[in-house]
Amino acid sequence: MISCPNCGANLKFDPATQKMRCEFCDSEFSPDEVQEEHDAKAQEATPLENTPKDSKEDTYSAFVFTCPQCGGELISYDDTAATFCSFCGASTILESRLSDQMKPKMVIPFALSKEACEAAYKKKIKSALFAPTDFQADSNVENFRGIYMPYWVYGLHADHNFEMTGKTEQRRGDYIYTKHYKLRGNLRAHYDGISHDASSSFSDALSSAIAPFDIKDAVPFQSNYLSGFYADTADVDHEVYLKESREAMEADLTRSLRTTPGFRKYTISDKDVKNAAAADSVSSERAMFPVWFLSTRVGDRISYAVVNGQTGKVAADIPVSYMKYLIGSLVIAIPVFLALTFNTFFRPNTITTISMAVALVSLIISNSQLNRIAARENMLDDKGYTSTLTPAELKARKEESGVKVKEKKSAGEAVKSGVTSSATVLTIVGAIFLLVFPIIGIALLVAAGMVRKEEGKDTTLVKTKSSKLKVKASGSDKMKVLWKPICGILIALGILIMNPVSDMYFWGGALASMFFVGWSFWDVVQEHNMLSTRKLPQFNRRGGDESEH
């Protein structure tokens, strides 16, 4: 606890004023002033010549709270009892102990107040029409807690001469004249700020969703900034993201070289540009970045929401309320259906064809989501987490789950990953269905929105040539779900192949096919809820913060 010089009460860091504020007498002090006074008192208590050199520079003392339910750990500079674990949702008194922690080089102080964080989250949750009521309740939103998450910040330095071979081509009549050039230059570049979270308990998907942080606001680390907040401990080695961070920076540098006015008119081989853009050195530094964190229990699972404590960017796993989904679909579908009852534009064979197409879309989307569920449930989609497992543990996890895993190389070019075509196709088909069978159409459009939202979470600024695990669920697990859209496809296809004379067969086949389509899209909603919630964590080393629950 940091005592107020005026009244002795606890000082806490205030994001609004960026100062240490006493909640009792309203006195304010700059963090530097408080740190200088703290260092002076510490030096008086323990003379500097008797203090080990590394203990003062590389570590700091803090309380470590351990959750008895999930075994997690969280750091606090305040010894006030923590009664709620943010990572597993348990309402329990967390065990505490005083411990020395590795001191990061820099910290970005919280700039977003809790009130602003809650407002940003409420704005996002309002757009989620089918979100469970509990997620919007003030009693739940008030459980946001400020946590400094550990990050690795990577930098690149290059200062060297280079030489490349370039060429130009010009056509004259039936001939193409090629000229070859020796291109020389000096490359001086410095990158700083490529960051990856250094906590295995912080999902890579959530971490990337609230990125980036601007390190221009970073200041040298002082433990004062932790007062009134919590901090997660780092357990991911800097080597885990070093290669892909280096390749991301070098890929950007390669693009800069190609577009430099002196080189853009020449055709240069990829090998030459890559060699010219090679880094002389890559550095990594420890840092702490501000994150507002919220956990919400959903049965025996948990859903997370995070807000960037610097920029206010929000990312949340929001499941769908089945009751709201059904009521909303019916309220919209019934009047639309009545209005289109006498629509004679679509013939029975057209409806049968559309039902088969929608069943195929359902099959594709459900198959994709089942693969993602297999990766999420086994934590194979989180590079930070898998890096903490031994090769034997990782192998056992893959074998026990029955999933198929292989490495996939991503292209080394700067692109922003968009939503895959499945969501677009689903939207188009849903709009068509809305004119004929509104209930199915509404279901398709809602599912398209959920797929678009989920796939949007995987957006990255730069794709590099780093390896990525591609996970596929076992065939037996998939068939427990995929048999429904397959039945819908086969029924509709069978009717179309037989091409009966009576329209009744087409209507009957279309209705039977749509029954399985509706059933399969109910599975899509359930799969979405699986992806928007997680199993209760068992870190044996991580998780927790204080809250009234």
Query: Which has more pLDDT, 454 or 458?
Result: 454
Task: Please report whether residue 274 resides in a domain.
Answer: yes
Pair 483, 348 in one domain: yes
Within this chain, do residues 210 and 180 fall inside the same structural domain, yes or no? Answer: yes
Give, in degrees to the nearest 5, the angle at Cα 59 between 87 and 385: 35
Check whether 495 has a pLDDT greater than 70. Answer: yes
pLDDT exceeds cutoff 70 at 486: yes
Q: What one-character DSSP code corresponds to residue 19?
A: E
Do strands 281-298 and 106-107 pair parallel, antiparallel, or not at all (unpaired)?
Answer: parallel
In a domain, 251, yes or no: yes
Q: Is 361 helix (H, G, I), strand (E, B) or coil?
A: helix
pLDDT of residue 465 exceeding 60, the answer is no
Beta strands, E only, 335-478: 404-409, 467-472
pLDDT at site 460 = 29
Residue-wise pLDDT for 89-127, tens only, equals 777 667 777 777 788 999 999 999 999 999 999 999 888
Residues 342 and 261 in one domain: no
Determine which of 10-14, 231-235, 346-350, 432-436 has the lowest per-residue pLDDT on average: 432-436
Is residue 188 in some structural domain?
yes
Same domain, 41 and 178: no
In this predicted structure, the answer to whether residue 174 has a pLDDT above a threshold of 60 is yes
Do 366 and 292 share a domain, yes or no?
A: no
Closest by CA position to 284, among listed 225, 243, 254:
243
Domains in the chain, number? 3
| pLDDT attached to residue 418 | 34
Share of the chain above pLDDT 70, in %: 78
Question: What is the model's pLDDT at position 414?
Answer: 33
In which band, very low, low, confident or very high, does the pLDDT at 431 lie, cut at 50, 70 and 90?
low
- Using alpha carbons only, what angle is made at residue 156 by residues 150 and 158, rounded to the nearest 5 degrees? 170
Q: Mark whether 229 and 135 lie in a shared domain.
A: yes
Backbone angles phi, psi at 385, to 5 degrees: -70, -45
Residue 541 lies in a domain: no
Q: Helix, strand or coil for residue 96?
A: strand
- pLDDT the model gives residue 146: 92
- Shared domain for 78 and 194, answered yes or no, is no
Q: What pLDDT does residue 413 have?
A: 36
| pLDDT at residue 31, as a whole number | 82
Are residues 73 and 161 both part of a single domain?
no
**Does 150 score more than 90 pLDDT?**
yes
Q: Is residue 538 part of a domain?
A: no
88-97, 361-370, 388-397, 510-519: which range is least confident on average? 88-97
Query: By residue range, what is the domain housing residue 196?
Result: 114-315
Single-letter code of the amino acid located at 433: F
* pLDDT value at residue 477: 85
State the residue for tokens 């964080």: 117
User: Given a cut of 60, is residue 55 above it in pLDDT?
Assistant: no
Q: What is the pLDDT of residue 151?
A: 95
What local confidence, expressed as pLDDT, does residue 500 receive? 84
How far does Cα 541 stand from its chain's mean position?
A: 22
140 & 61 share domain: no
Residues 307 and 263 in one domain: yes
pLDDT at 411: 38
Q: Are residues 473 and 525 in the same domain?
A: yes
Beta bridge mates, 101: 60
d(CA 521, CA 359): 9
Q: Does 3 map to a domain? A: no
Which residue is it, tokens 């071979």?
Answer: 165
Q: 136-144: long-range contacts at Cβ-Cβ below 8 A with a sequence spacing of 24 or more?
A: 140/294, 140/296, 141/294, 142/118, 142/548, 143/84, 143/294, 143/295, 143/296, 143/547, 143/548, 143/549, 144/114, 144/117, 144/118, 144/292, 144/293, 144/294, 144/307
Q: Whole-angstrom Cα distance, residue 250 to residue 255?
A: 9
pLDDT at 76 over 70: yes
Q: How confident is the model at residue 536 (pLDDT cuts 50, 70, 90)?
A: confident
- Predicted local distance difference test score (pLDDT) of residue 545: 46
Of 105, 140, 166, the domain-final residue? 105
In whole angstroms, give the CA distance from residue 315 to residue 303: 11
Distance CA 315, CA 211 (A): 10
Res 503 pLDDT > 50: yes
Measure the CA–CA gap between 30 and 427, rounded to whole angstroms: 54
Cis bond before residue 5 (omega within 30° of 0):
no
pLDDT at 487 over 90: yes
What pLDDT was estimated at residue 543?
44
> Is residue 278 located within the same domain as residue 343?
no
* Predicted confidence (pLDDT) per residue in 250-291, tens digit: 989 999 888 888 888 899 998 999 999 999 999 999 999 999
- pLDDT reported for residue 435: 56
What mean pLDDT, rounded, does the chain reach?
Answer: 79
Last residue of a domain, one of 105, 133, 149: 105
**Residue 394 maps to a domain:** no
In a domain, 508, yes or no: yes
